[in-house]
Structure 1
Amino acid sequence: MNKIKILEKYMPPAAAPLIARWIDYFKCEFKISRNRNTKFGDYRPPFDGKGHRISVNYDLNPYAFLVTTVHEFAHLYTWNQHKHKAKPHGTEWKQNFKKMMQPFFDQQVFPTDIKHAIISYLDNPAASSCSDLNLYRSLRKYDAPKEAVSTVEHLPMNAVFKLKDGRVFKKGEQLRKRFKCVEISTRRVYLFSPVAEVELLKETA
């Protein structure tokens, strides 16, 4: 099966031919990866005889998969231009990310709400698309429904919730952008992103 057909399974089909050309042009090893809770994708520069390597989580919805893919290719392009002289998410990367996203706007690949969220994000893109709450929320609307999964911001105060690793927490007050939550077993305090996905166990007064 050729690259385009494979990519069409994970991203909007109209975007697949250009991404396939990038893979060939940059001689990049492109891997569709298992789910990683800490990141959507990853870029590794050439090292020890290996070329450019990009991986993107397999379970992202098509729009999130494409945004993440372009994000990582912008790292690759920036590395080719500047090697280690450019900061990972500095000015050079931001400019390249904007430039590489433009063809997909021209093709009208994204729904209007996601396009507007991306444009807002591109005014000052952060290290990760999930660190921009407006863009992350827009992308999540296109996820397949998940049973028993909620986000911290939608839980009531003092709700008890569980993470994928089994740890249990109680939701507390919001401090700026994050929520102060206490791990039940250790009483240690952690700060959670509003959009962290968790499983509600019980609501408490």
Structure 2
Amino acid sequence: MDKVKVLERYLPPEAAPLIGRWIDYFKCEFKISRNRGTKFGDYRAPYDGKGHRISVNFDLNPYAFLVTTVHEFAHLHTWNEHKQKAKPHGSEWKANFKKMMQPFFEKDVFPPDIKQAITNYLNNPAASSCSDLTLFRSLRKYDPVKESVHTVEKLPIKSLFKLKDGRVFRKEEKLRKRYKCVEVSSRRVYLFSPVAEVELLEG
């Protein structure tokens, strides 16, 4: 099947032809991956006879899929220019991400709130990693509604929640950017991202 037709299943349709051209131009192996709870996408530099490899989770909404795809292609482009000399989300990567996002801004692919969140992210030097919560939250608004899924930040303090692997935690106070949570069975303390998706247990 034509790669653009496949990409149209996951991306806003008007974005698919350009991503298809990038895959060819950069000679990149592009894989649509299963869900990985810890990350949306991944870039791997050429190694041991293999070329550039990008994978993006299959279950992202079209806007999140596109932002993640551009994010990973910006890593690829930065590697081509600087190899290992550039920081993963440093100024070189940020400049490439901004440049590679521009065609999609010009096509008006994104809703205004996501476009604004991306712009703010790119104009804020302090947001040096991909964990910008404002952008993450604006993308998540376009996910299908999942009745049993909540984010840690929305749960009441002392409430119990469960992960996909079955482990049960109790939410405690916020420490800087993350929430302290105690695993009920082991009493070990873990720090959770505010936007981690969990299942609330009714107490």
TM bucket (normalised to shorter chain) is: over 0.9
Quick check: 1:26 aligned with 2:26?
A: yes
Unpaired segments ≥5 residues, structure 2: none
TM-score (norm 1): 0.95
C-alpha deviations, 1:67-89, integer Å up to 9, x for none?
A: 00000000000111111111111
Identify the residue that residue 91 of structure 2 maps to in structure 1.
91
Cα shift at 1:127 = 2.7
Cα shift at 1:49 = 1.1
Name the amino acid aligned to 2:155: L
After the TM superposition, list the runs of 4 or more consecutive aligned residues in structure 1 that deviate by more than 6 angstroms: none
Cα shift at 1:149 = 0.4
Identify the residue that residue 80 of structure 2 maps to in structure 1.
80
Identify the residue that residue 196 of structure 1 maps to in structure 2.
196
- Partners of 1:199 and 1:114 in 2: CA distance: 26
Other structure's SS at 2:108 match: coil
CA contact (8 A) 2:90 2:128 kept: no
Cα shift at 1:42 = 0.5
Candidates 129, 137, 144, aligned match of 1:127: 129
- Partners of 2:59 and 2:17 in 1: CA distance: 20
Cα shift at 1:48 = 1.2
Identify the residue that residue 60 of structure 1 maps to in structure 2.
60
C-alpha deviations, 1:155-203, integer Å up to 9, x for none?
A: 1111000011111000111112211111000111111111110000124
Other structure's SS at 1:173 match: strand
Quick check: 1:187 aligned with 2:171?
A: no
Unpaired segments ≥5 residues, structure 1: none
Identify the residue that residue 40 of structure 1 maps to in structure 2.
40
- Partners of 2:86 and 2:193 in 1: CA distance: 28
Cα shift at 1:61 = 0.4
Alignment of 1:134-145 (within 5 A): 134-145=134-145
Other structure's SS at 2:48 match: coil
- Partners of 1:84 and 1:132 in 2: CA distance: 23
Cα shift at 1:2 = 0.6
Other structure's SS at 1:20 match: helix
Identity of counterpart residues, as a percentage? 76
Which deviates more from structure 2 when the two are superposed, residues 119-128 or residues 148-157?
Answer: 119-128
TM-score (norm 2): 0.96
Cα shift at 1:126 = 3.6
Identify the residue that residue 113 of structure 2 maps to in structure 1.
113
Which deviates more from structure 2 when the two are superposed, residues 118-127 or residues 58-67?
Answer: 118-127
